[in-house]
Chains A and B, each alone.
Chain A
Amino acid sequence: MAGGNRSTLMAPRRGGRGHFSALATLAFAVAALGLAAAAGCAAHVQKRRLLTPDEFLTGRLGAAALPPATAQQQEVGGQTKRRPPKDMPDFLKAHLKDGRVVIFSSWQVDPSSRRVTGQGTALDLNRAVSASGARSVPLDSVALFESNVIETSNGVYDLAGLTVLSAAVSIVCILNPKSCFGSCPTFYLWDGEKQSLQAEGFSASVSPSLEASDVDALYRARPQGQRLSITMRNEALETHVVRYVDLLAAPRGPGERVFATPAGDFVATSELRSPERCSAEEGDCRDALLAFDGRERFSLADSTDLAAREQIDLEFAPRAGGDWGLVLASRQTLLTTYLFYQALAYMGRSAGAWLAALERGDASTRERSRALGELLGGIEVLGQDATGEWVVLGSTRETGPLAADVRLLPLPEGVTKLRLRLARGAWRVDWVALARVERRVEPLRLPPARVLRDGAEDPEILARLRERSRPVTTLPGDAYELIYDLPGDPAGCELFVESRGYYLEWMREQWLAEENPAMAAIMFTEPRLALRLMAPDFKRLEPRMETLFWESRYVKR
């Protein structure tokens, strides 16, 4: 299964139990948060102030004595009710010198007669109601005025912010439970500015029987001194079984770069040439393909057939003699990820049996398991021969949507017009160039010299990675720093990482609810039909797939 280790971005099946279950869980989470927020919004704090009559008279409380011309008005039940401004208290308490208190619900102050009048309730010393209605209190009888402003607690705002964030996570994880970041081992290296994701290991090895080696170029690695540090992470809901992670150091001369070929060779090149023209169905796409800079050319999948092809035409200036090759930096889109997880979902509770059958099966069984990926294919490179016909010169296919890999495809002499043929919406192409091939080189294989976990030496893991017979098993969030001793001048070698192993995807409860043995069977027996049937659902998710995928990466901090 090509590209199997990516997060899936599948739409819940319409009317399926999975969809219902997801919505029910979402409803619960949102309802819980909503109820909590509604209850919590009633949490208040009280700001109480005591004022002497003189302070009251000269202060804002006394000045805002609700003369009709300035009072805020509020329509209540067809009647106009005067309300104080929001920062004013709803009630004013006049604590009289004799211990009684008058609580005004509205009040006016007459400075000339020094009286407060309004609607209120008079309470005696034991706070029993002695009178209510219109009250008038001389200021001289008042010991203190008391005001209370009721405000919503700051804690409400803090929890509201947390609730919004939490609800967002709930929605993302429930409505699209398979959108969480998926990966086989990811490798992070220093690129001169930061630790960046530069490679991913054995992406296509989704079961023990598919254990394989994978070589990835560390084209943007910038070693600091004689040692190279690679951080290997498990950032997905997967179990990774890593047999080894070796560094390959290929010698190169000044100005040279070394590339791996699809055949597994390593060639040193001396000259890189950019294409003069690049065109696809959207028009000129040369800008996106001029450099290995993260600006990628990609398209959207076909809405009726996920295997439908597109092409990119490349034209280079005529070149002198010698051997040349096409350098291609690319990675997969999330289409293969979608297909892999959809397959697991369709298998449902039988996924274990399916995978066990794959383990027990012969080579042809394993071949059938790859059929879907084969239909999607890699990036075919075609050249125009002397008669004007387009002939296939080879292809390159690096599984995985995380890190772009760089490969060189040797070209026959004299070909200047090239064409890339690829499944629509399946590939992101970052860079194309012609390179003059100087010679084949043999890289030096370097096992890790040290392994650190949480900053501490881990000799057990180091021993396992070096002896290879006892693979290292990692779980989500695990991270190891692998340190290699470089031979000689770092500038004199091109670096690659070779990893070997396999990984096991974790089943999710929501996937089980989408079990559909018939569709699972179609995916394996009629893959071409499956790619047509699955196209509409994929298209619904495609626009936001990449964003969701990267935002949902699981990294242990």
Chain B
Amino acid sequence: MSSVRVSLAGVLVGAALAAGCASNSAPPGFLLAPAEAQKTAWGGWITVEMRPRTSPAVTAPVPEAGEDPMPVNYWNARWDARWKKGICEGELIAIGDDSVYVQTGRGLAAAGLADVANARLTGYDAETGRLSSWAALGTLSTASHGFFALISLPIWVIAGSAISASQSHKPVVDAPDRSWADMRQYARFPQGLPPGLERGRLRGRPPL
């Protein structure tokens, strides 16, 4: 195999690894960097895909005095469109014995765990972009390597992509691959819904 082919193969492998980065549908700005997330008590972003012919029960917010009866939740404005696909998403509020609670644009949605086909929770911003940028600049720097770039460029591409992909999975918890209990730590109420909670009084996280 020629060196050029080796380099090309390296780039392709890197592209394949990059494609392995964990994705999430969190709106830009919702996820906080680890250093910020430790100072707040919001839940992570969860996307719940329901089984066919099932849907979560939604408790619409009860407007407070002077409050818009249906406050816009900037974080999940696309909720309506997603609803048709049997997907609801938003801030993870709590995980109970039989339900997962998600603060959506329409209010607090309670989905039976048995009705959930799969779910992905992203607890915080993995800052993958920083590592990707590092790898990209490192790849560019191989322009100074002359012929050695045939070796060093694919190494940068492969290693950079693999490291970025690995980093992107750090804050991600998938169900049913992992237990619902693993997701609890990233809920607004990790202890479960507080007793006596008036669900209509709960509000989504305002935009920063």
Is A166 part of the binding interface, using a Cβ–Cβ cutoff of 8 Å? yes
Q: Is the CB of B33 within 8 A of A44?
A: yes
Q: Is the CB of A32 within 8 A of B159?
A: no
A10-52 contacts to B (CB < 8 Å): 25-26, 28-29, 32-33, 35-37, 39-40, 42-46, 48-50
Instruction: Enumerate chain A residues within 8 angstroms of B184, measured Cβ to Cβ.
Output: 50
Is A103 part of the binding interface, using a Cβ–Cβ cutoff of 8 Å? yes
Interface string of A470-493 (1 = CB under 8 A from B): 000000110000000000000000
- Contact A169 B148, CB 8 Å, known A48-B185, A125-B197: yes
Interface string of A378-413 (1 = CB under 8 A from B): 000000000000000000000000000000000000
Partner of A48, one of B123, B156, B202: B123
Instruction: Enumerate chain B residues within 8 angstroms of A153, measured Cβ to Cβ.
Output: 127, 131, 167, 170
Is B134 part of the binding interface, using a Cβ–Cβ cutoff of 8 Å? yes
Is A207 part of the binding interface, using a Cβ–Cβ cutoff of 8 Å? no
* Closest partner residue, chain A, to B91 (CB atom): A127
**Distance in Å from the Cβ of A475 to the closest Cβ of chain B?**
9
Q: Which of A37, A91, A156, A167 has the most CB of B within 10 A?
A: A156
- State in angstroms the CA–CA spacing of A35 and B189 once bound together: 39
Interface string of B1-32 (1 = CB under 8 A from A): 11100100000000000000000000000000
Is B54 part of the binding interface, using a Cβ–Cβ cutoff of 8 Å? no
**Distance in Å from the Cβ of A476 to the closest Cβ of chain B?**
6
Is A143 part of the binding interface, using a Cβ–Cβ cutoff of 8 Å? yes
Q: Is the CB of A177 within 8 A of B141?
A: no
B164-208 contacts to A (CB < 8 Å): 164, 166-167, 170-171, 184-186, 188-191, 193-197, 201-203, 205
Instruction: Enumerate chain A residues within 8 angstroms of B185, measured Cβ to Cβ.
Output: 48-50, 146
Is B84 part of the binding interface, using a Cβ–Cβ cutoff of 8 Å? no
Instruction: Enumerate chain A residues within 8 angstroms of B138, measured Cβ to Cβ.
Output: 32-33, 36, 159, 162-163, 166
Is B163 part of the binding interface, using a Cβ–Cβ cutoff of 8 Å? yes
Q: Which of A35, A46, A146 has the most CB of B within 10 A?
A: A46
The bracket for how many chain A residues form the interface is 35 or more
Is A193 part of the binding interface, using a Cβ–Cβ cutoff of 8 Å? no
Q: Is the CB of B141 within 8 A of A33?
A: yes
Q: Is the CB of A29 within 8 A of B144?
A: yes
Interface-forming stretch among A93-101, A336-344, A416-424? A93-101
Q: Which of A43, A90, A167 has the most CB of B within 10 A?
A: A43
Instruction: Enumerate chain B residues within 8 angstroms of A508, measured Cβ to Cβ.
Output: 146
- State in angstroms the CA–CA spacing of A33 and B145 once bound together: 13
Q: Which of A33, A148, A159, A508 has the most CB of B within 10 A?
A: A159
Q: Is the CB of A39 within 8 A of B134?
A: yes
Partner of B131, one of A28, A123, A159: A159
Q: Is the CB of B167 within 8 A of A46?
A: no
Interface string of A544-557 (1 = CB under 8 A from B): 00000000001011
Q: Is the CB of A156 within 8 A of B131?
A: yes
Instruction: Enumerate chain A residues within 8 angstroms of B133, measured Cβ to Cβ.
Output: 36, 39-40
- State in angstroms the CA–CA spacing of A237 and B188 once bound together: 62
- State in angstroms the CA–CA spacing of A39 and B136 once bound together: 12
Is A449 part of the binding interface, using a Cβ–Cβ cutoff of 8 Å? no
Interface string of B33-62 (1 = CB under 8 A from A): 111011111100000000000000000000
**Distance in Å from the Cβ of A120 to the closest Cβ of chain B?**
11
Is A180 part of the binding interface, using a Cβ–Cβ cutoff of 8 Å? yes
- State in angstroms the CA–CA spacing of A126 and B142 once bound together: 50
Q: Is the CB of B164 within 8 A of A155?
A: yes
Interface string of A230-269 (1 = CB under 8 A from B): 0000000100000000000000000000000000000000
- Contact A180 B39, CB 8 Å, known A148-B34, A166-B156: no
Is A89 part of the binding interface, using a Cβ–Cβ cutoff of 8 Å? yes
Instruction: Enumerate chain A residues within 8 angstroms of B144, measured Cβ to Cβ.
Output: 25-26, 28-29, 169-170, 173-174
Is B70 part of the binding interface, using a Cβ–Cβ cutoff of 8 Å? no
- State in angstroms the CA–CA spacing of A332 and B190 once bound together: 75
**Distance in Å from the Cβ of A483 to the closest Cβ of chain B?**
22
Partner of B194, one of A29, A98, A554: A98
**Distance in Å from the Cβ of A528 to the closest Cβ of chain B?**
34
Q: Is the CB of B163 within 8 A of A556?
A: no
* Closest partner residue, chain B, to A46 (CB atom): B34
Instruction: Enumerate chain A residues within 8 angstroms of B196, measured Cβ to Cβ.
Output: 98
Is A75 part of the binding interface, using a Cβ–Cβ cutoff of 8 Å? no
- State in angstroms the CA–CA spacing of A159 and B156 once bound together: 9
* Closest partner residue, chain A, to B135 (CB atom): A159
A42-75 contacts to B (CB < 8 Å): 42-46, 48-50
Is A362 part of the binding interface, using a Cβ–Cβ cutoff of 8 Å? no
Is A335 part of the binding interface, using a Cβ–Cβ cutoff of 8 Å? no
Interface string of B129-157 (1 = CB under 8 A from A): 01101111110111111111011100110
Q: Which of B1, B150, B188 has the most CB of A within 10 A?
A: B188
Instruction: Enumerate chain A residues within 8 angstroms of B107, measured Cβ to Cβ.
Output: none
Q: Is the CB of B127 within 8 A of A44?
A: yes
Partner of B147, one of A50, A97, A180: A180
Partner of B34, one of A44, A126, A162: A44
Q: Is the CB of A162 within 8 A of B131?
A: no
- Contact A125 B134, CB 8 Å, known A46-B124, A554-B148: no
Is B90 part of the binding interface, using a Cβ–Cβ cutoff of 8 Å? no
Is B105 part of the binding interface, using a Cβ–Cβ cutoff of 8 Å? no
- State in angstroms the CA–CA spacing of A89 and B35 once bound together: 11
- State in angstroms the CA–CA spacing of A65 and B193 once bound together: 29
Q: What are 30 A-B pairs at a CB distance below 8 A? A: A29-B143, A29-B144, A32-B141, A37-B134, A40-B133, A40-B134, A42-B130, A46-B124, A46-B170, A48-B123, A48-B186, A50-B185, A50-B190, A95-B190, A97-B195, A99-B197, A103-B39, A127-B205, A146-B185, A146-B190, A155-B164, A159-B159, A159-B160, A169-B145, A173-B146, A237-B147, A454-B1, A477-B2, A477-B3, A554-B148
